[in-house]
Amino acid sequence: MTPGHTTHPTRARRELLSWRNAVFAIFFLSGLSLASWVARLPEVRDETGLSTQGVGLVILSGSIASVLGLIAAPPLMARFGARAGMAGALIAVSLGLVFIGFGGSLLPSIPLIAIGLAFAGFGNGAVDVMMNVEGAEAEREISRTLMPLMHAFFSFGTVAGAGIAAAAAALAVPVAVHLSAIAAVIAIGAIVSVRFVPKRSELGDPSAADERADAASARPWTERFRDGLRVWGDVRLLLIGVIMLGMSFAEGSANDWLTLAAVDGHGLDPAVGAAIFTVFAVSMTTARVLGGPLVDRFGRVATLRVLAATGVVGLSLFIFGTEMWVIVIGTIMWGVGASMGFPVGMSAAADVPDRAQAAARVSAVAIIGYCAFLVGPPFIGFLGEHFGLLNALLVILALMVMAGLAAPAARERSRMPGATGGESDGPANGSAAAASDA
């Protein structure tokens, strides 16, 4: 169990498992939605006659909407609660997929595609924050590190989405039919999944406020939202944001530029470049699946320092290596190094006694991390245009060093000087009985 997590879950084991699985499902659905339309992008481009630059401009509508969704998530949660917020956001994503599908095949229309990307981008941006808030809270009550595995489920969703899209393309299934079917799965899956997410007054769930009728639940949502803004003045939280900034920058830039860096920077064949990216994706996903127990055993600070060092060495090998085996090892270490900074940072942000404040803190660092994920790749592209892609990656190297230096900000609350409440100063020896099999 991660030090700093509560050792006394207040919910029954069955409810905890259902909650955990619901969050897994939401992460999966978010990844599924993203990969589904991205994998059909070449056909959408051909149907609409868009140029490469035109595709970039259309995608920009989705990127802008994603940032707006990140910003809008905290007030939406404060007003409607996490359950309704996550369901509504994924339904918006589903609507966007339908627009993209029809605009990209049956009724070729660039404005329709742009509208669809705006809906999908806004919904995914908002649900990214909300599902991380829920994931951090579920992890706290289950008393085990689960955030890395939750983010692995997002990766599983992208793999499933890409695979289904490839099969649909091979079978000549129209983009509109394919994306409409995926949209239905996501909408239904979201509505079913959020039913297993507990109602909590601190996040503004209306019925939870009626049931508990405590002082926090009676506060207006505008007041809860204003309180949430105050967390941005917490220096320790901003340092956790630095960790997530560096790790998210490393992940997002790899997703967009690793293949081109291998091909243009190292002169590799395009097929080999694609294989290099696959190595990165597999390394990152594997580290997230296996990483939770390591965090529980060694603590957040030690884990983050080792990961940052691994990423720095890996990036250095990738940038300066000339032999294929050096580049491959560097790619593996890059993927492992960037794998858990984001989810571990979420856990650290949520590690405070006040649960309403925890939600606001997770929202804040999620915004930092996802903005870095979205803004980082274009910035690397700008630098790469002027200085070469391999040289541009040196920025990531510097940010990962900063993330490693900021690692102490993620220290478990039970390990901080003056910690009280009967929590252990070292790694906890087991979890509560109610969550023993969670």
Instruction: Judge if 179 and 261 occupy the same domain.
Output: no
Instruction: Judge if 47 and 154 occupy the same domain.
Output: yes
Per-residue pLDDT of the chain (438 residues; tens, 9 = 90+): 444 444 445 678 888 889 999 999 999 999 899 888 877 777 787 777 776 666 767 777 887 888 888 888 888 887 888 889 999 999 999 999 999 999 888 888 888 988 999 999 999 989 988 898 888 888 888 888 888 889 889 888 888 887 888 888 888 889 899 999 999 999 999 999 999 988 766 555 555 444 444 444 445 666 666 666 777 778 888 899 899 888 888 887 887 778 778 888 888 887 787 788 778 888 888 898 888 888 888 888 999 999 999 999 999 999 999 899 999 999 999 999 988 888 888 888 878 776 667 767 877 887 788 777 777 777 777 777 788 888 888 988 999 999 999 999 988 876 555 554 433 334 433 333 333 343
Instruction: Judge if 24 and 170 occupy the same domain.
Output: yes
Instruction: Judge if 9 and 125 occupy the same domain.
Output: yes
In the 3-class helix/strand/coil scheme, how is the chain assigned residue by residue? CCCCCCCCCCCCHHHHHHHHHHHHHHHHHHHHHHHHHHHCHHHHHHHHCCCHHHHHHHHHHHHHHHHHHHHHHHHHHHHHCHHHHHHHHHHHHHHHHHHHHHHHHHCCCHHHHHHHHHHHHHHHHHHHHHHHHHHHHHHHHHCCCCHHHHHHHHHHHHHHHHHHHHHHHHCCCCHHHHHHHHHHHHHHHHHHHHCCCCCCHHHCCHHHHHHHCCHHHHCCHHHHHHHHHHHHHCHHHHHHHHHHHHHHHHHHHHHHHHHHHHHHHCCCCHHHHHHHHHHHHHHHHHHHHHHHHHHHHHCHHHHHHHHHHHHHHHHHHHHHCCCHHHHHHHHHHHHHHHHCHHHHHHHHHCCCCCHHHHHHHHHHHHHHHHHHHHHHHHHHHHHHHHHCHHHHCHHHHHHHHHHHHCHHHHCCHHHCCCCCCCCCCCCCCCCCHHHCCC
Please report whether residue 290 resides in a domain: yes
Please report whether residue 422 resides in a domain: no
Please report whether residue 182 resides in a domain: yes
- Per the structure, the complete domain to which residue 409 belongs is given by 233-413
pLDDT at 62: 83
Please report whether residue 224 resides in a domain: no
Instruction: Judge if 329 and 293 occupy the same domain.
Output: yes
pLDDT at 382: 78
Please report whether residue 433 resides in a domain: no
Give the torsion through C-alpha atoms of 347, 34, 399, 412, to 10 deg: 0
Instruction: Judge if 175 and 256 occupy the same domain.
Output: no
Q: What CATH number does the domain containing 24 carry? A: 1.20.1250.20
Closest CA to 407 of 241, 274, 264: 241
Instruction: Judge if 184 and 287 occupy the same domain.
Output: no
Please report whether residue 402 resides in a domain: yes
Please report whether residue 220 resides in a domain: no
What global pTM score does this model have?
Answer: 0.74
Instruction: Judge if 408 and 310 occupy the same domain.
Output: yes
Instruction: Judge if 8 and 154 occupy the same domain.
Output: yes
Structural domain count of the chain: 2
Predicted confidence (pLDDT) per residue in 218-253, tens digit = 456 666 666 667 777 788 888 998 998 888 888 878
Please report whether residue 137 resides in a domain: yes
Instruction: Judge if 201 and 237 occupy the same domain.
Output: no
Instruction: Judge if 198 and 315 occupy the same domain.
Output: no
Instruction: Judge if 274 and 185 occupy the same domain.
Output: no
